[in-house]
Amino acid sequence: MWTFVSRDFALSVIVVSATLVGFAAMFVSLGCGDRSELLSDKPKAPNILIVTIDTLRADHLATYGYFRRTSPTIDALAAESIVFDRCI
C-alpha cells in the first residue's frame, strides 16, 4: 500500500511556495520603476553607502594601513570613497 504525505505537510509546502513566488514577483517589480528621473537634468541626492561589519578587524585592512592585501574589494571601494577612521 502506498503512503502519501500528510495534508498539513502538503499545505505547508504550498504556502512556502506561494510565499517564495510572491517575493520573487516583488523583487522583479522593483526593477520596473519609472526611468524618467534618469533623463532629467535635476541634481539627484548623493548616494550613501554605510558599511558596518562586526567581525572584521580594521587593523587587518590595507585601507587602514595593514601591509598585506587582505581585502581587495573593500580597498577598491575605499579608494573611491570617503573613509572615516572614527565614527561617533
Among 31-40, 51-60, 62-71, the minimum mean pLDDT is found in 31-40
Read off the pLDDT of residues 1-47 as tens digits, 9 standing for 90 and up. 555 666 676 667 676 677 777 766 666 666 665 666 656 677 777 78
Identify the burial level of 63 via C-beta atoms within 10 angstroms of its C-beta, where 0-12 means exposed, 13-18 middle and 19 or more buried.
middle
Q: Would you state the cell numbers that stand for residue 69, as one nine-digit string?
A: 592585501
Q: Residue 79: which H helix or E strand, with range?
A: helix 72-79
Q: pTM for this one?
A: 0.43
Angle made by CA atoms 21, 27, 33, in degrees to the nearest 5: 135
Number of residues that make up the chain? 88
Helix (H), strand (E) counts: the chain? 3, 0
Q: Where are the domains of the chain?
A: 7-35+44-79
Write down the H helix ranges in 2-71. Answer: 7-30, 36-39
CB 62 within 8 Å of CB 71: yes
pLDDT at position 2, please? 56
pLDDT at position 29, please? 63
